[in-house]
Homo-oligomer: A and B are copies of this chain.
């Protein structure tokens, strides 16, 4: 199996995991109907990539030209719709798959931004936006403060993974090694954050409130 095939398989796995996760979130936190569940699953899976593609000028976005994306996103959301009575059973595997999606999207997003001529810093940022953008839009639609902004380590591993990928590309390490290293580190930080419930630091004011 070729390396590009592995990357593609992981990318599609990420789309599927994000869609399932987005649809489960919609079922758990809102009273939306099947249209809402499908829409929120698809938006979670494809929203980050669409924002990235619009910003780098890759129009129409891959979400509209690669039929696998839309199919897997809608399929994942539909599965979540039908099994939504038993989400706890799958809770752990979803979190792992979601971390896979986060890692793969951060890396592939940064690589695509570089390929379209963006500088390192915006490429890293757009890698992270690819990874966290869909979930952010979902949370805004269902009226939650985006979870990426409030708790856990989610954007930070995405930024680190994207930065490793971009740094490797800058010093002419072959794309594959950099991408694998970036995705692996992102995945590791994310899983450690989940396991030990690590949060990103909050503001001075917030810390004072907690002490009082």
Interface of A toward B, CB cutoff 8 Å = 27, 30-37, 39-40, 50, 54-57, 59-61, 63-65, 67, 70, 81-85, 116-119, 121-122, 125-126, 136, 140-143, 145-146, 148-151, 154-156, 199-206, 208
Instruction: Report Cα–Cα, A97/B49, bound state, in Å.
Output: 34
Instruction: Report Cα–Cα, A56/B53, bound state, in Å.
Output: 11
Interchain CB contact under 8 A, B70 and A35: no
The residues of B that contact A50 with a CB separation of less than 8 Å are: 55
The residues of B that contact A59 with a CB separation of less than 8 Å are: 54-57
Instruction: Report Cα–Cα, A115/B30, bound state, in Å.
Output: 37
Kindly report how many copies of this chain are found in the complex they form together: 3
In the complex formed, the residue of B with least CB distance to A35 is B155
Interchain CB contact under 8 A, A70 and B122: yes
Known: A59-B56, A64-B126, A67-B121. A39 touches B204 (CB 8 A): no
Interchain CB contact under 8 A, A150 and B31: yes
Looking at the assembled complex, report how far the CB atom of A209 sits from the nearest CB atom of chain B, in whole angstroms.
Answer: 9
Among candidates B36, B37, B121, B149, residue contacting A36 with C-beta atoms closer than 8 Å = B149
